Structure formats: structure tokens, C-alpha cells
Amino acid sequence: MRRLILASTALLLVAPLRSQTPPSPASIAGRLTANALKADVSFLASDALEGRGTPSRGLNIAAEFIASQFRRAGLEPAGDDGYFQTADFDQVAASTEALTLMADANGETVRAAPGGIRFLETAGADFDGIPVLHVAIDRPGALESLAAGAARGKALVVEVPEGGRALVRRIPEMAGRLQAALTIVLGLPAMGPAQTERLRSVPATTPAAPCLIVSDAAFRKAVLAPGAKVSAHVPPPAVTPVKLRNVIGVLRGADPALRDSYVLVTAHYDHLGIRGSGPGDHIYNGANDDASGTASVLEIAETLAALPERPKRSVVFMTFFGEELGEVGSHYYAAHPVFPLSKTAADLNLEQLGRTDETGVGVRTAQYYLTGFDFTDLAPVLRQAAKPFGIRVVNDKEHNEPYFRQSDNYAFAEAGVPSTTIAVAYQFSDYHQPGDEWPKLDYDNMAKVDAAVALGVWEVASNPDAPAWNAKNPKTEGFRGKR
């Protein structure tokens, strides 16, 4: 390996001009090392960064680190403040402890257990015995089809199908259009410790009415009974303005005609922060989720920037805040794009690249998954680029579609940009637990996967034909023709 590095360094010294021939796999593999990835992940996922909650001091330190690595790689800054794209939000803090939510049905009153309530949106509210409007959503558009004001003075009770997390994001906005006094979302598990803080965009796009995710079987039964009435007391939340940051750097493309179009390589740099109290570990380090993706963005940037060969299109390296709160940073970018979405050829998003011990599968190396595998024509290009590294690009037929909707690539899909998330394992034992720590990652495997992804990015960025949605797949209908 040492000999290989010396050889490619020599090549770099004599190469007089940037050329557009593809880089050799060896020149990529020699630059993208397991130790560099381990260095990045061990810092980002250290206890000192306190789990990189959005917002937090640890998150800000992570952002500074990412910017410093972009600086090292020589990327052009593309934010409003150097590499930072600054976003104004309100942090809205509410507690479920002082909240009461009750359903009256058949002469019985059932109070929802506070531990089974999560806020999607909050505002102070007091209601006594208001009627219920029940809507089951099993597809995008179910709420949109109701008339504006249809839930005025009512509790809107929305049933979400299993795996319907992506449908949830728009519920507060829809509830606002329907003028619901209060919205109750049923059908989602109350995951993790109760979240007391939410982010609200400034200016607010949703009206101030509470929207609650409730998982409590007795309450569910009562609120769905015919003639049910709802009573609620929601204390007003505390509101604090915060500044959040996406971190963005650009490697300029070589082709005069194509350099003003862009391939995005993205990951989220936030995680869950510190949650809970009492004995034990409360720092959610997020090493695999998603310090591994962030480190990969950094090292792929460093590697591609150091090569004598430049791709034709420009490559934008970007890390997002707020994924764990509902892909907030990527949706912010899609609403405030630095580079025109019409000129954005693709988003390759990186998640969970370090753990190879997939739940229910066992250890599996030398491969990665693509979400939305046949939604676009990205797979064949990435597959070809991965071959010289001995890496297989696998279509997990059961999981590739649900996970397509569960990461930052989805904000780009909704905006019409062909996108995918690259992951080594979808499920792993420490997912969203304090035990997601850096020593558990396989960095040798990660370096090989990242090398394969780096060449794949180069090829996607250099192909004169931009990636396209697969028009033969009806599931891409909502993403096509958006730009």
C-alpha cells in the first residue's frame, strides 16, 4: 500500500493539467483510509460532543470540525457564512407532564398516558368535549382531499398506516388548512424518550395548534368510538430563537458546459443528544447514525479533491442538521437551495456505513444497499464503479422502498431530484441507543465501501447523461417532472 501511495503521489506531481479521464481505483483506494475514517468518527461520536443534538454546543462543534475538514480539502465555501448555510428556527419546548388529553366515549373517560404522547407541533390550548373528525391516511393526498376548514372546532384524529413516518411530516400543515383545534396522530410507536423540544421554522409555516402523536391502546379505542369527545389542556410552550447550520463545500467540475450542474454527496451530522436521567449512559453518540456518513462525506471530499482528475460536473459535499427531528436540515436546504434544483443532477446520501452486523442477517461485508434501488438509473453506474473494489451494490427488495422515505434523500426526491441513500446495514442492535459508539464500526470495510462510492460519485458526475427517474416504476410518479 505504501508503494501505491508513493506511485500516485509521483503521478500527481508530474500531471500538468486536470484531465477528465476516470481516476484509477488504486489512486482512490490509496487515499481513502480506514484510519482517517476512524479519526473522524471517533471525534464526532465522542462523549465530548454530547450526542450532537439539534440544537446544541456539540452540534456546533461538529459543524466547525466539518468546515475545517472542507477547508483542508480545499473545497469552495458555498454557504452565506463561509461553509455554513444559516437557518433561523424557533426551539419550542413543551412538556407532556403537565398535559392532559382525554377521550369521552360510552359514558367513560380515558386519559392518554403522558409517556405515550409526543409533540409534532405545540401551542397552549384548552378544550372541553369537542367532537372528533376521524381520517385514515394510507397514501399521500388523503388529508389534502378534505375541504379547507373541515376540522374547524374539532379534534382531527389521523390514523397513519404502519411504516407511515414519511406521511406524518405534512400533517401539522394539513391540520392548519383544515383549521383543526387539536390534532391526534395514531398508529406510530412512541419511539425513545419523550421529546420535549421541537423546531419551528421562522416564519412559521404551520398555525399554532397542538398536534400530538399518541400511542396508548385504551385511549385509541375510546377516541375512535362513535360519538367520542375530546378534552385537552396543553400548557403554552417556551419559545427560544436558534440558528442552525448546514455545512456546504464544492469541488468545481472540469467541463465548461457541465460544471454549473451539481451532484450532491450528503449526510446528517446531528444525532439525538443527551436524553433521560438517572444512572447509566445518556449520551446518544450516533457513531454509525450518522457520524459514519459524515466522516464518509469528509473523506470522499478529501479524496476526490486530491485527485488530478476532476469530474465534469461540480460535486457538492453537504452535511445536515436536524435529521433526527424529521429531516429538518435537508428540507430547509430543498426550500432554500444554494444551487438551483433544476441544475442538481442527483443526491447521493450516506447513512450507516460503519456497522456490518445487521440485525437478523449477521455480519455481512463487501457490499452496500441503495434505497429506492430501481427508482432511478443510478444503480448500474454505482454497481460498475464498485466492482474494482470488490464491493457489491445490493437491492434489498424488502427494505429499499421504506428506507427511501426515511432519510435526507427524500427531501430531494420530493423536489424532483433523483436521489438515493447508501447504507451498509439498515438495522443494527444499537440503533438510536446510547451504545451506538465508535469502536463498534468496521473501518476497513467502510474504507472499501467509501472508495467504491467515491468512484461512483466521480462517474455520476462525469456522465454527460444526468441521472433520471425510472418512468416505468409507478412509485416514482410523485417525483417525476417536479423540476
Sign of the CA dihedral 81, 322, 175, 194? negative
Query: Closest CB to Zn ion among 290 and 299?
Result: 290
Minimum distance, C-beta of residue 290 to Zn ion, in the bound complex (Å): 4
Q: How far is the CB of 406 from Zn ion (least distance, A)?
A: 8
Q: Site for Zn ion (CB under 5 A): which residue of 104, 216, 290, 347?
A: 290
* Closer CB to Zn ion, 216 or 442, in the complex: 442
CB 444 to Zn ion: min, Å: 22
Q: How near is the Cβ of 235 to Zn ion at its closest, in Å?
A: 31
Which part of the chain contacts Zn ion (CB under 5 A), choosing from 147-155, 220-228, 251-259, 284-292? 284-292
Q: What is the DSSP string of 200-245?
A: EESS-SS-S--EEEE--HHHHHHHTSTT-EEEEEEPPPEEEEEEEE
Strand partners, 180: 152
What mask, x for binding Zn ion by CB under 5 A, covers residues 373 to 402?
------------------------------
Beta bridge partners of 234: 125
Least distance CB 63 / Zn ion (angstroms): 17
Q: Which CB, 290 or 450, lies closer to Zn ion? A: 290
Instruction: Using the rule CB under 5 A, give the single segment among 25-33, 115-123, 286-294, 358-366 that binds Zn ion.
Output: 286-294
Question: In whole angstroms, how close is the CB of 30 to Zn ion at the nearest point?
Answer: 29
Query: Is residue 289 a contact point for Zn ion (CB under 5 A)?
Result: yes
Task: Report the C-alpha gap between 64 and 247 in whole angstroms.
Answer: 9
Within 63-123, strands assigned E span 76-77, 84-93, 100-105, 108-111, 117-121
Query: Can residue 121 be called a binding residue for Zn ion (CB under 5 A)?
Result: no
Residue 157 or 422 having the CB closest to Zn ion: 422
**Interstrand relation of 273-274 and 283-284 (parallel, antiparallel or unpaired):** antiparallel
Tell me the window of 289-297, 310-318, 387-395, 432-440 that interacts with Zn ion (CB under 5 A): 289-297
Look up residue 30 and give its three cell numbers.
490509496
Task: Find the binding residues for Zn ion in span 350-369 (CB under 5 A).
Answer: 351
Buried b (16+ CB within 10 A) or exposed e, 202-240: eeeebeebbbbbbbbeebbebbbeeebbbbbebbebeee
H/E stretch holding 185 reads strand 182-186
In the chain, the amino acid numbered 9 is: T
Residue whose CB is less far from Zn ion, 159 or 442: 442
Return the number of the residue (351 or 357) whose C-beta is nearest Zn ion.
Answer: 351
Residue 261 vs 294, nearer CB to Zn ion? 294
Each residue 310-349 as x (binds Zn ion by CB under 5 A) or -, in order, gives ----------------------------------------
Of 203-211, 281-289, 305-313, 411-419, the segment contacting Zn ion by CB under 5 A is 281-289
- Supply 136's cell numbers: 385514515
**Secondary element (H or E) of residue 134:** strand 125-136
Please, which residue, 55 or 322, has the CB nearer to Zn ion?
Answer: 322
Of 239, 245, 243, nearest to 329 by C-alpha is 245
Backbone angles phi, psi at 460, to 5 degrees: -60, -40
Distance of closest approach, residue 423 Cβ to Zn ion, in angstroms: 9
How is residue 90 annotated by DSSP? E
> Which C-beta is closer to Zn ion: that of 50 or that of 324?
324
Nearest-approach distance from CB 145 to Zn ion, in angstroms? 32
How far from chain centre, in Å, is Cα 105? 40
Count of residues that bind Zn ion according to CB under 5 A: 3
N- to C-terminal Cα separation, the chain: 45
> Shortest distance, CB of residue 456 to Zn ion, whole angstroms?
20
Q: How far is the CB of 133 from Zn ion (least distance, A)?
A: 34
Question: For residue 76, what are the CA distances in angstroms to 43, 122, 249, 417?
Answer: 24, 39, 5, 23
Cβ closest to Zn ion, residue 229 vs residue 405: 405
The amino acid that residue 187 corresponds to is G
The torsion region of residue 276 among left (phi > 0), alpha (psi -120 to 50) and beta comes to: left
Q: Which of 474, 320, 477, 475 is nearest to 411 (CA)?
A: 320
Binders of Zn ion among residues 452 to 471 (CB under 5 A) are none
Closest distance between Zn ion and the C-beta of residue 395, in Å? 21
Quick check: 270 binds Zn ion (CB under 5 A)?
Answer: no
Q: Which stretch binds Zn ion (CB under 5 A): 67-75, 125-133, 178-186, 282-290?
A: 282-290
Q: Binding residues for Zn ion, per CB under 5 A?
A: 289-290, 351
